Amino acid sequence: MNGVLVVGDALLDVDVTGRVERTTPDAGLPVLDVTDEVERPGGAALAAALLAESGVPVTFVTALCADDAGRRLHTLISRAVEVVVGPGEGGTVVKTRLAGLARVDRGDGRPAPRFGVAVDARLKAALADVGAVLVSDYGRGVAADPTVRAALAAAVRAGVPVVWDPHPRGPAPVPGVTVATPNLAEARAVAPGREPEQVGRAVLRSWSAEAVAVTCGAQGAVLVRAVGAAVAVAAPRVSGGDPCGAGDAFAGGLAAALADGLPCPDAVRHAVRHAAAFVGRGGAGAFASRPAAVLSG
């Protein structure tokens, strides 16, 4: 199986579960009696970990802050993935979900000024020996770094398949990427329209990509290319599960399929099935609860 290089922003996700059986006497706020707390990789780190769980060799290029949360996140990622770390600043991004009641975010987690210089040599070495690249942008700055973008543009020119999973706060993909994978809302933010095919074609022109796969949640995805009819791929029906992370599963499955030489339409079909299976298994929450031995392959 050919390896995949993942480039993007690492986050730490924390799931806190418990019972709510009372409220505070002063303000009537729900009181969560915590029964469990689980940490898991988030953002691009989740995309890398999901790929590794499926048996794909993964190298992950990211920025990490030198704080306690950053060290814990590095431990989680390095169970399964070869990690290339550049310096981060602003504190590790930690997103804590409180039993469906609220989410608490803290940290900025941006690349430090010398991030690109720090990862340049190992990034180029990885690009020379990889089947495909997944840029998993979470809007924190890794995908916007000039050194990283120059290396990715060189990979596109060299014919390496590049999947770009964008973020509303992130930059446009480097020109010529194999497939960009905005969800429908992200695509409409770039090129207003109604139907996925219409919006996808406008995004294709705006970003100068070879193809755009607009993901539509439980409805699947629509692939548009410069030549030929659009390809609509329906998602298998699944019940239950946490859809958080489904986009990461889709983009990772797409990159893995392209690394193995599948044509783009077949790779999108594989990615839709892969994401649906991820949600059907319980999504990100179930992924976090699997034993470390399973996560490390």
pTM flag (> 0.85):
yes
Reading the block at residue 112, the tokens are 């430090």
What is the C-alpha to C-alpha distance for residues 64 and 36, in angstroms, rounded to an integer?
A: 26
Within 4-88, residue ranges assigned H as helices are 44-53, 68-78
Q: Per-residue b/e over 1-17, b at no fewer than 16 CB within 10 Å? A: ebbbbbbbbbbbbbbbe
Please work out, in degrees rounded to the nearest 5, the angle formed at the alpha carbon of residue 211 by the alpha carbons of 253 and 56.
Answer: 20
Instruction: For residue 141, give both structure tokens.
Output: 């700055």
Query: Is 248 known to be catalytic?
Result: yes
Distances (CA, A) of 278 to 43, 51, 114, 194, 297: 16, 11, 36, 28, 16
- What CATH number is given for 4-22+29-288 in this structure? 3.40.1190.20
Catalytic residue among 15, 33, 248, 266: 248
What is the pLDDT at residue 293?
31
> Per-residue confidence of the chain (297 residues) as pLDDT tens digits?
789 999 999 999 999 999 999 999 999 999 999 999 999 999 999 999 999 999 999 999 999 999 999 999 999 999 889 999 999 999 999 999 998 899 999 999 999 999 999 999 999 999 999 999 999 999 999 999 999 999 999 999 999 999 999 999 999 999 999 999 999 999 999 998 889 999 999 999 999 999 999 999 999 999 999 988 999 999 998 876 678 899 999 999 999 999 999 999 999 999 999 999 999 888 877 776 444 333 332
Output the pLDDT for position 80: 86
CB 6 within 8 A of CB 258: no
In this prediction, residue 288 carries a pLDDT of 61
b vs e for 256-266, b when ≥16 Cβ sit within 10 Å of the residue's Cβ?
A: bbbbbebebee
